[in-house]
Structure 1
Amino acid sequence: MDTKKLNRITWKRAKPIVLSLGILLILISVFIGFKSTTNWHRRQNFIHSQEARDHYNSYLGTQKAEEDNVNKKYKETKDYQGSVDYADNQNAGIFLKFDSKTGKFHIQSQTFKEYYGYIRAKLFYTRSAFDLTNFSYLFTSRNVFRGFTLISLFFIVAGFLVSFLNYKTNFSQILFSSGYKRKEILKSSIITSLIPLILMTITAITINLFILYSRIPHQYINYPLDKIIFYQFCILSVAICYYFLGLFSGIILGQVITGILSLSGFVFGLELIKQNILDILNNIFNKKNDGIYYQSFFVRFDTYLHWLILVGFIILTTFLFYFSAQYFYQRLSLEEKGNYLLFPKFRLPISLVAGLFTAYSICGNIGLGSDSISLLIRYNILPGILVFVITFCFFIVLNNYKKIYEKIGMIILKPNNQLSKK
């Protein structure tokens, strides 16, 4: 069969989705690039202005007045604790020190640089990945939910729409009857949607970095360019993995609203499970829970080697989603249209997996839990069992709602039929 013709057909279908998402990504990268760098220049201009110096001098005057009031209070009462409490009420206690030699309180005022600490002379304080992932100048660091990036959102939407709409609009059925093998159709759909989206995303990343480095002097970007680029590669690899997750979901799910809700719940659950795993690793390595490491595996394992290992694991997961999508696509039935899951034999296993997945994502955060078995049972195991049962029953009802509806209808209509016979 003519694969070029098939690619032209699938591209025509995918083009509105891919172009709209890709162009939107590029526009967002341009907007973030210009907005963030403009704000940087505005803040730098302000910190070197007389207005900023006047604000700082006013702050020093206020601190001096508060210091005089505290010392006046202490001189009148000779009550040390009362003077400290008075200073706390005046919001001055945090910088308050007592000089035993002079017998006076002294408020340690912030320096000019400390006072305007939110204005960074350089874009990074350190060269850690934590700064990189929280760097508002890179649009790849924009998160939708915890570590779920904006780019991953666009890729998962693209994958889901490409596969779901092809089936929902009977386009897949037309291709099935045209003589092309299903494997070829799926491969063509992936090539004509994923590759253009990757190219447009790389364009968006390049434009974003170009704006950053052209509008801000290089000496102020206290971070190696090679690591910034490698971080973009890592984020893009995660987004590609999410594309195949969306593609797989679009193949097995047959309803719009429940399908979108299920996919959203799965993504949120993945982020919770990621935090659970990081909590466990935190306990193993005896790291302090500082509340920041959960945001990204790239923060928790901040070396090139660790990032390569993570990318390798992401690639393996991507292939898992790809071959799973291929397996189900080969067995896609045209008779199950409208059902929640399009594969009857897998409804029970998927319901079990969904129940376990939800239970662990919500109740599996045992990394920072107590060593007490009773507390573990009370706060993890018992709630986990309850969540599993509720989720499993929900999916069973969702997968069999037609049969349940028919049985309820028979129960309701049965008394009416008996009355009509009488």
Structure 2
Amino acid sequence: MQIFKRRYGKALIGVCLLIAALYLGTGWQSQKDWHSQYTYLYSDEFVDEYTNHPNYYVKSYDGEKEILYDSIDDYRQDMLTIKKSTDESEMNYNNFSYAQSEILLVFLFIAGFLVFFVDYRTNFTRFLLSLPAYKKEIFRKKILFILLPIIGTLAIGLIGNCLIRVGMIGQPYFAVSLSDMLLSGLSTLFTNLLVFVVGMFFGIALGNLISGPLSILFILFLSTMGSYFYSSCYQLYHLIFTGDQDAYPSFTLWIDWPEGISYKWWAYLLYASLIILLLVLAEKIFLRLSLDNEGDYVTVPALRSTAYWLMALGTWFYLAMSNYIPHRFFYINLYEDYHDTYQGIIIGLVMMLLFCLVISLLMVYPKALMKWWYKRRNKIA
């Protein structure tokens, strides 16, 4: 543990301070901007503007007809009230939420990846394995040393963010209860922790200095299509079993900021199970690390075949679902003017599969392919 303190102490403190500052800072900025808006809406300047141009302040539309506010107090109440919503289109600017979830999630993912990847590439892992200790003990103590401060910081930051926003804005304008906010914070904690552990898993599974980080960038790119993948799977299920072509998810499986929305109970169990599973798999990979094959894409040679097929087929399935390609088989029968054909859809899926198979082959087996190429070239020569 003394070695871990010297190796990771300062960096870990820096990461924790950054996480806490991001949560607490955005919470403070949210309430500050709310108070600025409150001051403006009760100023003489706004009263004159509203009195002279009430048609500028439209409450809603009935077709093309504008529906105006009944009074200036009605407008103020609507603009200053913060409420929760499961529909992203309803989360408008007057919620005063300055979520930095994308930045934080990317940061956590990369930080998790570097925890093991940097040690492997700088031979620090080789040093750890030379110590008079079991591999399992080294892995578990390292995980505890890194993970516990991260969890604690996330919890403090999330609780602080919720308390700042609820306490400094207050009722009746903050129309989300503190219990709902804290439960939403718990959901966000599970999301952040899962992202961090996924990053650690890839950090211990990938070893090449170039293709490893490139794979991480590609995974981050794929993550931007996560909502499409989830919605696509939900819709395809209903197309197959209920025939409903307009089905949309009625619950969320991804909460990355405390806005009053929380997971259902089974989602907590699902995410906890995924986190435990990834840690168990990461430990098994660590116990089988091959230090004689440093620089290979997969750190454990025996897992190359498994990694290849998971990478190729998984990417193919993810891209196909995210682009709603399987749905097109059903759309042909549902819409008379649909121009796709069964043959065209199948050809597109096959071409995408071949592309994923080839790219995965180049990533996982570069040395084997180079040996094959040199051997073949020498035979021809």
Deviation per residue, 1:235-294 (Å, 9 max, x gap): 21122222221111111101244223323433554514323223335656759567x968
1:231 to 1:368, Cα distance in 2 relative to 1, 3 A:
farther
Alpha-carbon distance in 2 for matches of 1:388, 1:363: 9
Instruction: Give 1:392's match in structure 2, choosing from 344, 357, 360.
Output: 357
What letter corresponds to residue 37 of structure 1 in structure 2? Answer: Q
Shift in Å, 1:189? 1.0
Whole-angstrom CA distance in 2 between matches of 1:13 and 1:287: 55
SS where residue 297 of structure 2 aligns?
coil
Tell me the equivalent position of 1:42.
36
CA separation of 1:120/1:334 partners in 2, compared to 1, >3 Å: closer, same or farther? same
Q: Structure 1 residue aligned with 2:158, among 178, 192, 205?
A: 205
Note the 1:324-339 alignment, pairs <5 A: 324-339=281-296
Equivalent residue in structure 1 for 2:307, among 328, 350, 370 = 350
Aligned length: 358
**Structure 1 residues 268 and 115: CA distance shift in structure 2, 3 A:** farther
Distance 1:108 1:192, change over 3 A: closer
* Structure 1 residues 380 and 244, CA gap change in structure 2 (3 angstroms): farther
Rounded to whole Å, the distance in 2 between the matches of 1:392 and 1:249 is 20
CA shift digits 1:184-231 (9 cap, x unpaired): 111011000010111111121222123213321232211121121111
Q: Which residue identity lines up with residue 44 of structure 2 in the other structure?
A: Q
- For residues 61 and 195 of structure 1, do their structure 2 counterparts lie closer, same or farther at Cα, with a shift above 3 Å needed? closer
Distance 1:316 1:287 in 2: 32
List per-residue Cα deviations over 1:318-372 (Å, max 9, x = no partner). Answer: 1211111111111100111112122233223322221222222222236864343
Aligned in 2, Cα 1:385/1:306: closer, same or farther, shift over 3 Å?
same
Give the corresponding residue for 1:173: 126
* More moved, 211-220 vs 268-277: 268-277
Deviation of residue 404 (structure 1)?
A: 3.7
Q: Give me the TM-score of the superposition, normalised by structure 1.
A: 0.72
Describe the shift of the 1:297–1:194 C-alpha distance in structure 2 as closer, same or farther (beyond 3 A). Answer: closer
Q: Is structure 2 residue 64 aligned with structure 1 residue 94?
A: yes
Deviations 1:353-403 (A, max 9, x none): 212222222222368643437947467543332222112111211223234
- Please state if 1:372 is matched with 2:332: yes
Question: Are the aligned partners of 1:43 and 1:119 in contact in 2 as well (CA < 8 Å)?
Answer: no
Does structure 1 conserve the Cα–Cα contact (< 8 Å) formed by 2:109 and 2:198?
yes
TM-score by length of 2: 0.79
Residue aligned with 2:81, SS: coil
Which ranges in structure 2 are unaligned for 5 or more consecutive residues? 58-62, 334-338
Match of 2:117 in 1: 164
Matches within 5 A, 1:214-225: 214-225=167-178
**In 2, are the aligned partners of 1:32 and 1:137 still within 8 Å (CA)?**
no
Structure 1 residue 19 corresponds to structure 2 residue 17: no
State the secondary structure of the residue aligned to 2:82: coil
Could you tell me how far apart the structure 2 residues matched to 1:45 and 1:391 are? 56
Any idea what the Cα deviations from partners look like across 1:100-132, whole Å, max 9, x if unmatched?
Answer: xxxxxxx765555699689622111xx544479
Matched with 2:280 is 323
* Aligned equivalent of 1:72: none
Instruction: Give the aligned partner of residue 309 of structure 1.
Output: 266
- Measured in 1, the distance between the counterparts of 2:11 and 2:250 equals 35
Residue 113 (structure 2) pairs with residue 143 (structure 1): no
Cα 1:61–1:191, aligned 2, differ >3 Å: closer, same or farther? Answer: closer
Please list every run of 5 or more consecutive structure 1 residues that lacks an aligned counterpart in the other structure.
Answer: 1-6, 64-92, 96-106, 145-149
Q: Which residue of 1 aligns with 2:60?
A: none
CA distance in 2: counterparts of 1:381 and 1:114, whole angstroms? 59
Change (3 A) 1:157 1:61: closer
Q: Structure 1 pair 137/208, CA: closer, same or farther in 2 (3 Å)?
A: farther
Deviation, 1:309, is 0.3
| Counterparts in 2 of 1:160 and 1:112: CA distance versus 1, 3 Å | same
Whichever residue aligns with residue 7 of structure 2, its letter is R
Flag the 1:294–1:379 CA change in 2: closer, same or farther, 3 A: farther
> What is the letter of the counterpart of residue 359 of structure 1?
W
| Distance of aligned partners of 1:394 and 1:367 in 2 relative to their CA distance in 1, 3 Å threshold | closer
Which residue in the other structure is 1:274 paired with? Answer: 230
Q: Distance in 2 between matches of 1:153 and 1:108?
A: 42
Aligned partner of 1:67 in structure 2 is: none
8 Å CA contact 2:298–2:364 kept in 1: the answer is yes
Q: In structure 1, what residue type is equivalent to 2:361? A: I
Aligned to 1:8: 2
Note if contact 1:18-1:158 (Cα within 8 Å) is conserved in structure 2.
Answer: no
Task: Give the secondary-structure state (helix, strand or coil) at the position aligned to 1:357.
Answer: helix
Q: Is the 8 A contact 1:44 1:119 kept in 2?
A: no
User: How far apart are the structure 1 equivalents of 2:298 and 2:56?
Assistant: 67
Comparing 278-287 and 315-324, the one that deviates more: 278-287
Contact 1:269 1:357 in 2 (8 A): no
CA-CA distance at 1:8 after TM superposition: 2.5
